[in-house]
Amino acid sequence: MMHSANQQREYQNPRDLIYKVAQWTWGLPQSLCGLAVSLYYRNCRQYEFHGAHVTVWPHKSSLSLGMYLFLTDDAFHYYHDQKSEFTEKAFARGLLVHEYGHTIQSLMYGPLYLIAVGLPSILWANLPALQKRRKEKRISYYSVYPEKQANKLGERFTGEKSIGAPIS
Ligand SMILES: [Zn+2]
């Protein structure tokens, strides 16, 4: 039997396997959505990160659905100020760790993820009144639930630094 290096690596870490099984059972609704989106973007660059399936997509925002994580190809788009402190690669890595934290929230909240995490995230990001408030009071998008929790979880489960609380 021939095995690619990729396949072997996938099953080497038992924690990644448990992560995937949990995402496909307890986190099923969002994993199904994530699979559909990842198939749509199948021509984009994809790789694995601690059991999560990462797609680098051509959008300004990033998104996590179950074990599927969609990372912007333009990490500095909303955060030009960060260019003085980080390389684009390092900043995108922090964003990846943050998004990985959302995939852990998928395991915590299970079938409630889309309502308990997805909905408040989308509203916090897109409602004009909240955008205005963030801008006026210089509040970071990453400073409140569920974003702040995603930072903490991402750091705990990857051992790497997350994005922190940059102000856009
Ligand atoms: Zn987030």
Q: What is the pLDDT of residues 41-68, one digit of tens each?
A: 999 999 999 999 999 999 999 999 999 9
Across the chain, what does the average pLDDT equal?
92
Q: For residue 139, what are its two tokens?
A: 């509040």
Q: How far is the CA of 150 from the centre of ligand 1 (A)?
A: 6
Q: How far is the CA of 105 from the centre of ligand 1 (A)?
A: 11
76-90: b (≥16 Cβ within 10 Å) or e? eebbeebeeebeeee
Q: How far is the CA of 141 from the centre of ligand 1 (A)?
A: 8
Q: How far is the CA of 5 from the centre of ligand 1 (A)?
A: 32
Can you tell me the mean pLDDT for 130-140?
94
Q: How far is CA 140 from CA 17, 82, 100, in A?
A: 34, 13, 19
Q: How far is the CA of 125 from the centre of ligand 1 (A)?
A: 9
Res 8: pLDDT: 52
> pLDDT per residue over 61-106, tens digit each?
999 999 999 999 999 998 888 898 899 999 999 999 999 999 999 9
Is the separation of the CB atoms in 54 and 65 below 8 Å? no
Indicate whether 4 pLDDT > 90: no
Q: How far is the CA of 98 from the centre of ligand 1 (A)?
A: 6
Confidence of residue 6 (pLDDT cuts 50, 70, 90): low
Whole-model pTM? Answer: 0.91
Share of the chain above pLDDT 70, in %: 93
Res 168: pLDDT: 78
Q: How far is the CA of 95 from the centre of ligand 1 (A)?
A: 8
Q: How far is the CA of 92 from the centre of ligand 1 (A)?
A: 13
